[in-house]
Structure 1
Amino acid sequence: MIREIVRSLRALLTESDRIAHGFAMEHRLSPSDFRALLHVVASETEGAPLAASDLRTRLNVSAGAITYIIDRLVKAGHVRRDADPSDRRKVILRFSQQGFDLCRSYFEPIQTGYARALADVSEHDLAATEAVLDALLVAMRSPGPNADLARTFE
């Protein structure tokens, strides 16, 4: 059963990546820029805005690449740079209304599709699925054979 779950997750991630890439291209964003914008919006929405260095770590890119990505997002009006109130030397990335609206237009149809697909699944099965996904997320974030890959540019 684990093999089947892994295969389904791989297919889900591949399809998600395909949809995100198409959405980014449709809105004249590179896939990297769109991924960066998603991180900025998600982090700020969760109450933990990202510093440029945090975004660099999440995207696993060089210092030069993250500067270029942020510059493009700022120029496009999706993101703004604010001084970190606790350390004026650091820059906090904030989404603009335009950036938020773009992300919302990406996620709303996906969430609607998920809700439709899961409408007949029992609460018990949904809770079990959430537990499985949480366990897999913990496993991915834990040290292991691929842990060094996430630190390539740190």
Structure 2
Amino acid sequence: MTPARDDARRDARRISASMIDPRVIDPRQELVRHDDLSEEELAQVVRLMAAMRAWRDADQRLSFASRAHLKLNETDMKALRYIIASMNADVPVTAGALSDHLHISTASTTKLLDRLERAGHVVRRPHPTDRRAVTVEITPETHREVRRTMGLQHARRFELVRSLSPADRETVTRFLEDLSATTLTTAAAAADDDPAPAAPAH
């Protein structure tokens, strides 16, 4: 490899690593003011944002690997996790409840359950009290696999959160709630900025 290519790769890695640094992505401070922070404070903010990105990327990789292993899409996995939680709470899972949880239509839920049943992930059984309805249960094999992947990861996260002091938990909780609020606000603003659909031509 030539020195020029080495330099180009180093530059590419440097830019990739600094894409959350406002000094790089907003040097004229048109969106983010940062000249009121010391270099140490700014470095700390960037480090926290880098840690947030690393966590998000790691979580996405785990979710993708778990879904790929079971040959599931994201909605399938959400459905299985809901079924597991309901079964643990001794609450029968109906197609209607699953449809409400996933925010999808009844027809889409039926297709989803057909797909999961064909793959051996769920079984349908008669409802214990309503003869017109059926319930959905996860198969033991799939339950074990989901627990081995997502369940184990959730347990590790729980232990990490439990290790924090009560004051630190409150601080982290408020931070994450505020962070979620910024995402929701941004999504709402983007929707408001979308142009209205054109009126159909007559």
Using structure 1 for the length normalisation, give the TM-score. 0.65
Question: How far apart are residue 95 of structure 1 and its match?
Answer: 1.3
The equivalent position to 1:92 in structure 2, one of 128, 135, 138, is: 135
1:86-136, CA deviations, whole angstroms, 9 ceiling, x for partnerless residues?
Answer: 10111111111012112102234313532563464236655x47986xx99
Residues 4-153 of structure 1 mapped to structure 2, 5 A cutoff: 16-17=59-60, 19-114=62-157, 117-118=160-161, 120-122=163-165, 125-126=168-169, 128=170
Relative contact order, CA 8 A, sep 6+: which one is greater? 1
Question: How far apart are residue 39 of structure 1 and its match?
Answer: 0.8
Give the structure with the higher percent strand. Answer: 1
Q: Identify the residue that residue 140 of structure 1 maps to in structure 2.
A: none
Q: Which has the larger radius of gyration?
A: 2
1:14-70, CA deviations, whole angstroms, 9 ceiling, x for partnerless residues?
Answer: 864553233212321121111111111111112112111100110011111101110
- In the alignment of these two chains, the number of paired residues is 130
Distance change in 2, residues 1:87/1:119 (3 Å): closer
Distance in 2 (alpha carbons) for counterparts of 1:108 and 1:60 = 23
> Runs of 5+ in structure 1 lacking a partner?
1-6, 137-145, 147-154
**Percent identity (aligned):** 24
Q: Identify the residue that residue 31 of structure 2 maps to in structure 1.
A: none
Q: 2:66 aligns to what SS in structure 1?
A: helix
Q: 2:134 aligns to what SS in structure 1?
A: strand
Q: 1:65 aligns to what SS in structure 2?
A: helix
> Runs of 5+ in structure 2 lacking a partner?
1-48, 179-187, 189-202
CA RMSD in angstroms, aligned pairs only: 3.3
Using structure 2 for the length normalisation, give the TM-score. 0.52
Distance in 2 (alpha carbons) for counterparts of 1:99 and 1:108 = 12
